[in-house]
Amino acid sequence: MTLPKILVFGQTGQIATELALQGTVTALPRSMADLSDPDACAAIIAATDADVIINAAAYTDVDAAETDEELATIINGHAPAAMARAAAARGLPFIHISTDYVFDGSGSAPIAPDTSNNPINAYGRSKLVGEEGIRAAGGAYVILRTSWVFSAHGNNFVKTMLRLSQTRETLNVVGDQVGGPTAAADIAATCLKLAQAFYAGNGKNGTYHYSGQPDVSWAGFAREIFEQSKRAVAVSDIPTVDFPMPAKRPGNSRMDCTKFETTFGICRPNWRQSLGTVLKTLKDR
């Protein structure tokens, strides 16, 4: 089977790292592809010999975005839009990672992809700008919204909990935010499947949801981390109001992934199994 040439924007982030580990891709570091310069990123696509473009780079510091929304919007909004236009001009499929933060997180039902957007923080607003620009570009695309990304790389909730468990026997963790933790490795594998589908002529344009199952609170996620890693840490649920952060977080990050499963035959991954793999990787280091 002939594999597509895949150009990945991003190199050190969680998903980009997993893409490089799982597939034969060309991953561009910030020194070569700085998303704060959208025109330069578009020029790279205009000159590439790749068959598929994956954007796994982003401004991901949710709290810092509150005071740096202009830069976050360039990186998360204007750059992906420019890249999508360049890809459309070349007839290249563009796969882009987005987020549940484009919604306000109200209610308790799983959120479908066509639900009205209403981001409640700067990060979510910046990502929504990118989504709108990609759809307007007119090319072949998939916007893959995901949530609560974790891996053995970079900074994430799993590694934070493990670090805190080294010096703490009890932890207070938010219990009224619920979502689907998603392993970066699962997202990367899914992006590679999408790239292959487009290369084979079976791609389906659209905005899709993809997150781990079952849905759980941050506190429940923490308990599973400690149980699997055999750390004796007691977790107490606290409400969001008792853990104030600069950026508001959605209370409901449950994602309805039915459309994605129906279209591509890719099911929600079991995050507990993926967590075990991540913990083993960290232990073996």
Separation between Cα atoms, residue 40 and residue 33, nearest integer Å: 7
According to DSSP, residue 74 is labeled I
- pTM check: above 0.95: yes
State the Cα angle at 257 between 18 and 14, rounded to 5°: 15
Which pLDDT band holds residue 157 (cuts at 50, 70, 90)? very high
Catalytic residue among 123, 141, 208, 210: 123
Q: How far apart are the first and last CA of the chain?
A: 34
CA–CA dist 122, 68 (Å, integer): 8
Q: What is the pLDDT of residue 202?
A: 93
Tokens of residue 134, six digits: 């990609």
Q: Which helix (H) or strand (E) holds 224?
A: helix 218-229
What letter does residue 165 receive in the DSSP assignment? H
- What three-state secondary structure class fits 4? coil
Does residue 1 surpass a pLDDT of 80?
no
Question: Predicted confidence band at 143 (pLDDT cuts at 50, 70, 90)?
Answer: very high
How many other β-carbons are positioned within 10 Å of the β-carbon of residue 283? 10
Residue pLDDT, tens place only, 73-96: 999 999 999 999 999 999 999 999
pLDDT at residue number 3: 81
Residue whose entry in the numeric block shows the structure tokens 């750390």: 231
Count of H helices and E strands in the chain? Answer: 10, 13
CA atoms within 13 A on the CB side of 199: 17
Taking residues 139-150, what's their average pLDDT?
Answer: 98
What is the homologous superfamily of the domain 6-156+182-212+255-270 according to CATH? Answer: NAD(P)-binding Rossmann-like Domain (3.40.50.720)
For the residues of 137-161, what is the DSSP string, one character each? H-S-EEEEEE-SEE-SSSS-HHHHH
Which of 57, 26, 285, 54 has its CA nearest to residue 152?
285
What are the residue boundaries of the structural domains of the chain, listed by start?
A: 6-156+182-212+255-270
| Mean pLDDT, rounded, for 194-220 | 97
Whether 123 is catalytic: yes
pLDDT bracket for residue 125 (50, 70, 90): very high
Per-residue pLDDT at 23: 81
Q: Is 25 exposed, middle or buried (0-12, 13-18, 19+ CB in 10 A)?
A: buried
Dist CA 57 CA 34 (whole Å): 9
